[in-house]
Structure 1
């Protein structure tokens, strides 16, 4: 079980965050980036899971700039509300909040950034625009919109082979633009296959993706 804390971004904005600490000397530090549903029970469990695996994890509440305490359900109403918030928030302000979370974990901010859904695109942008140590993007639907930007740190991506929101042609276009970046496509997986609160949850595939993520973090992050 983690704790809630307050972060302050470089523009003076104060936001909440959920932090889970490793019980022993950490193997590394990670920023966990929310889906469009906010820092909800699932995202807190993700942080707790990484802490149990030896990584100190922080999930910043990126929607705090618009509405504090957002936690939405995995239904059509939640999707609609989350997408509306994403549209209002834009892409620049979340970078400030990711940077605040990263420096809260390590003074130089060179931590891992792991994002899911909307957070997958945020993780991609963090790798391109911030001085972070590594990034992992799970089914980032809008990465294609920023495919012309180039990551400055090691990065891997996970996609579902049957994701109706991210066609295989889109994944192929991302791969073609960045052939050196590892891209994993999972047959039988749709959108949100890592989330145990969603109908598309695929436990075996989520485990395989996490194994690959952990191996990647072990190689690219220092304690």
Structure 2
């Protein structure tokens, strides 16, 4: 359904690729799908295709393009998981946010000037929260975002609806971090948190060993309803 197309950086001094899936008719809004540490792999592309079927134009920018363009890794393959974890410290998250800003700009044009939502997973969940603090997107969703407790000092800048999906047995987001997130965000009227008891990181992946069907359907339904409300 989709294809990779070039997106200009904010400074228009380079281009990076984004997987773009378009609906059959006019797009009702745009959604940016933010990758995990595994790149814009088949699972991320499937999420874009799903949003296109629901009537949105969907973009998944290749945020690792400065490291190595078009990285695609499988978390169920131990060597590839190790490779993905090694990419994390090489990735400049501030530059990543600027690339998301550039993607928002492109996606808004593709949606005819309409609203743009962002949804991210793992690293992308963290970036979705950062984008809520730093960009002009219209709604933000993070699944099992890592290290959000260290970003709470920025939450005063959130002015648009934001939702976080938090699996309580996430081995990358420990109970103390989850507690800090709940306590730190409880008074922020723009942020909603949903807990998923006993589930681990990656439960909403489109494929593979990490997926939990029931929880993924629940979380994705909440996300779909959230975007339907806030991107209309």
Contact 2:28 2:114 in 1 (8 A): no
CA deviations 1:97-127 (Å, max 9, x no partner) are 1111111111468410100011000101011
Structure 1 position 200, deviation (Å): 2.1
The range that moved more, 39-48 or 185-194, is: 185-194
Query: Which residue matches 1:157?
Result: 164
SS at match of 1:72: coil
Contact 1:103 1:109 in 2 (8 A): no
CA deviations 1:11-48 (Å, max 9, x no partner) are 32311110001122323211000000000111000100
Query: Which residue matches 1:114?
Result: 119
Report the TM-score, using the length of structure 2 for normalisation. Answer: 0.90
Contact 1:189 1:200 in 2 (8 A): no
The 1:152–1:78 alpha-carbon spacing in structure 2 relative to 1, beyond 3 Å, is farther
Contact 1:30 1:55 in 2 (8 A): yes
Contact 1:110 1:131 in 2 (8 A): no
Query: Which residue matches 1:80?
Result: 82
Contact 1:102 1:110 in 2 (8 A): no
Report the TM-score, using the length of structure 1 for normalisation. Answer: 0.94
Contact 1:102 1:109 in 2 (8 A): no
RMSD: 1.5
Contact 2:40 2:61 in 1 (8 A): yes
Query: Which residue matches 1:5?
Result: 5
Query: Which residue matches 1:58?
Result: 59
The range that moved more, 110-119 or 142-151, is: 142-151
Distance 2:115 2:83 in 1: 32
Query: Which residue matches 1:124?
Result: 129
Distance 1:196 1:105 in 2: 23
Structure 1 residue ranges without an equivalent (≥5): none
SS at match of 1:114: strand
Name segments (4+ residues, structure 1) moved above 6 Å.
none
SS at match of 2:153: coil
